[in-house]
Chains A and B, each alone.
Chain A
Amino acid sequence: MQTYDLEANGLRGLNSALQELNGSSNKTAWEIVNPKGSHAIAVGLNSPVDVTVKGSTGYYCAGMNQQATVRVEGSVGPGVAENMMSGTVIVEGDASQYAGATGQGGLLVIKGNASSRCGISMKGIDIVVHGNIGHMCAFMGQAGNLVVLGDAGDALGDSCYEARFFVRGSVKSLGADCIEKEMRPEHIEILKDLLARAGADAKPEEFKRYGSARKLYNFDVDNAQAY
């Protein structure tokens, strides 16, 4: 286990050290102490390293992650796992706004609540939120899965494309072109896998599925009131 004191040694040294790992290093487990809300912690990683952040972070923790597993033992600021490509990011606490924004792949697990715009413009990432999510989540969501064990706020999935949304609790409102959809066997299987990987104690059958009605995929002036 490598321990890095962020307060004492600085952000650049941390990210340089983590980014230089190429998969052949035996330094596969890292612990970051004294994060104290710093921004851009563990961004741009590209090897199967395990990183544990002992405390809360600021903006863009684990941004553009590839392959790595990043665990935050605290809460995260805006933009955690922004544009993640692969790997896993686990937040033990809460997440601020736009968690997993534009994520292209990988798994983001938030064990607390997520704020507004979680999964905004998601492009293939899987996000599992154990608690509740705020308003405008998955706006323009293109691909991937957003799983919410709690409740969802206003305008879920507004103007979404092919992303799927599974919510166990209530949904305050659905956004433009987002509808409730049939939960078919293949969706149960997808959900079962995601819940298991996220360590979530819930049954797939307890969820409702939402997604695009696909009525706004091509511009039609008769839909102008929806824009």
Chain B
Amino acid sequence: MDSTKIPRTVPIQSATFSNPINAEIRRAAATGIYDIRGGGAKRRVPHFDDLLFLGASVSRYPLEGYREKCETKVTLGTRFAKKPIELDIPITIAGMSFGALSGPAKEALGRGASAAGTSTTTGDGGMTPEERGHSTKLVYQYLPSRYGMNPDDLRKADAIEVVVGQGAKPGGGGMLLGQKISDRVAHMRCLPKGIDQRSACRHPDWTGPDDLEIKILELREITDWQVPIYVKVGGTRPYYDTALAVKAGADVVVLDGMQGGTAATQDVFIEHVGLPTLACIRPAVQALQDLGVHREVQLVVSGGIRTGADVAKAMALGADAVAIGTAALIALGDNDPKWESEYQKLGTTTGAYDDWHEGKDPAGITTQDAELMKRVDPVDAGRRLRNYLKVMTLEAQTIARACGHNHLHNLEPEDLCALTMEAAAMARVPLAGTDWYPGKAGF
């Protein structure tokens, strides 16, 4: 038989040993070190896209878009604080450090958030005057590293967020590599310039929820019980972590799912530790309801929030507000196609750039390089962020009106259905076209 006429099999690449996996094996073999990167999980996990809203028809009565009001205001910290935070929109900016981000980027976050009537959050490394100056409402993170921590800044804050965990790396610490340690960053952190700066994975002076309760008391005593105390946890055991944060005295629980970003950590950590954001919300809300404090202790959800639909879905599942990090950076200009040629020089492409720890960000956002950071115009970038926040809010309002609600807080699980069994189980909303979800009693 003519061998040229024998049909040939089509080469099939292994789903297990895919090209990206094989490339990583070769990279690891060549360097002897795991991959470190920024950003959040890139793998596909059940997400808000797997839910749909059930707009109103006969059994529900919709509100008129562009005519009937749909409120968006949210108040955080009503449990113990004398001065709760009042925000115009239920979308806040998540904690990102000066050091990981450039000064102009932090300023732009402050400008954009303030123009949209919401808050920003500091990060590992302390509070900068630019950040405080441009943020109408600023949440001060109290982190395990305590870099730059001081009581004067603590008292300048509108809220304090005790960071226990982070969605991208629950249980893990951070590493700001030496190439991003400028003189200013080194000074703020009490460490020599150019060395790797490790952020601890746990607070050095408490060892559990009972200690946390006393730590919160100390922070309240130092700040005269004025401002709300948030407790931020990475999404892993949301029911118990939420319950214990409430027990410790939190005014607000911030719950960060595995799609949440980070400045830099191991890729294997980002992709393989933690729960999808979607899976975190209902157990946390359940904990608040079981303790009788749902809406009294507010729940802020973060980790992969991108659109007004995501906002509305998180709130329908029981969140009081959401926080955005990666999305805010993209709004500022991170991974913008206009820098494509420079991304390619770094061996990557627009949309995939995540080597934030190297300090070479062409967009000037995740860097301390004086020349690169000039590319961020804080006024223009702030305007873009403001626009983006406004758009997300308008989108969420549109959905809420269609579901018949005059406040985003009135969205509820009954407004939702799920496209997949996984999403139905995680969100505890019925599979589309049925009244059933996995685990529902009676089935």
Contact = CB atoms under 8 A, between A and B. Distances in A.
A39 B205 CA distance: 14
A120 interface: yes
Contacts of B196: 217-219
Nearest to B36: A219
B14 interface: no
A102 interface: yes
Nearest to A80: B205
Contacts of B273: none
Contacts of B97: none
A14 to B, nearest CB: 9
Contacts of A139: 204
Interface string A76-99: 001100110100000000000010
B33 interface: yes
A108 interface: no
Given A15-B221, A161-B195, A219-B177, A60 B215 contact: yes
A101 interface: yes
Contact of A12 (B32, B215, B225): B225
A66 B151 contact: yes
B330 interface: no
B174 interface: no
A121 B145 contact: yes
B205 A101 contact: yes
Interface in A54-86: 58-60, 63-64, 66, 78-79, 82-83, 85
B214 interface: yes
Interface string B168-209: 000000010110000000000111101110101000111000
A102 B218 contact: no
A16 B146 contact: no
Given A44-B221, A102-B204, A221 B150 contact: no
B217 interface: yes
Given A40-B214, A46-B151, A140-B200, A218 B205 contact: no
Given A60-B218, A218-B195, A221-B33, A104 B150 contact: yes
Given A63-B222, A161-B191, A85 B178 contact: no
A139 B205 CA distance: 12
A217 B195 contact: yes
Nearest to A216: B196
B151 A121 contact: no
A83 B224 contact: no
Interface string A31-54: 000000001100110100000000
Contacts of A44: 151, 221-223
Contacts of B146: 83, 102, 121, 123
Most chain A CB within a 10 A radius of its CB, from B151, B206, B224 = B151
Contacts of A43: 218, 221-222
A101 B152 CA distance: 18
A124 interface: yes
B31 A64 contact: no
B204 A104 contact: no
Interface in B251-289: none
Interface residues of A, number: 42
Given A78-B211, A98-B204, A120-B205, A219 B150 contact: no
Most chain A CB within a 10 A radius of its CB, from B32, B33, B175, B206 = B206
A161 B177 CA distance: 15
B154 interface: yes
A161 B200 CA distance: 14
A143 interface: yes
A219 B36 CA distance: 12
A119 to B, nearest CB: 10
A19 B220 CA distance: 13
Interface string B111-155: 000000000000000000000000000000000011001111010
Contacts of B150: 64, 83, 85, 104
A185 to B, nearest CB: 23
A117 interface: yes
Contacts of B206: 78-79
A20 B146 CA distance: 25
A59 B151 contact: no
B195 A59 contact: no
A64 B211 CA distance: 17
A138 to B, nearest CB: 11
Contacts of B204: 98, 101-102, 117, 120-121, 139-140
Contacts of B194: 218
Contacts of A11: 221
A162 interface: yes
Contacts of B190: 104, 123-124, 142-143
Contacts of B192: 161-162, 217
Interface string A144-156: 0000000000000
A46 B200 CA distance: 28
Interface of A: 11-12, 15-16, 19, 39-40, 43-44, 46, 58-60, 63-64, 66, 78-79, 82-83, 85, 98, 101-102, 104, 117, 120-121, 123-124, 139-140, 142-143, 159, 161-162, 217-219, 221-222
Interface of B: 31-33, 145-146, 149-152, 154, 175, 177-178, 189-192, 194-196, 198, 200, 204-206, 211, 214-215, 217-218, 221-225
Given A19-B222, A46-B152, 11 more contacts: A12-B221, A12-B225, A44-B221, A60-B205, A64-B222, A79-B215, A79-B218, A98-B205, A124-B190, A161-B192, A218-B195
Which 8 A-B pairs rank lowest in CB-CB distance, beginning with the nearest? A44-B222, A101-B205, A102-B146, A217-B195, A64-B151, A123-B190, A120-B204, A98-B205
8 contacts: A39-B217, A44-B222, A60-B218, A63-B218, A63-B222, A98-B205, A102-B146, A217-B178
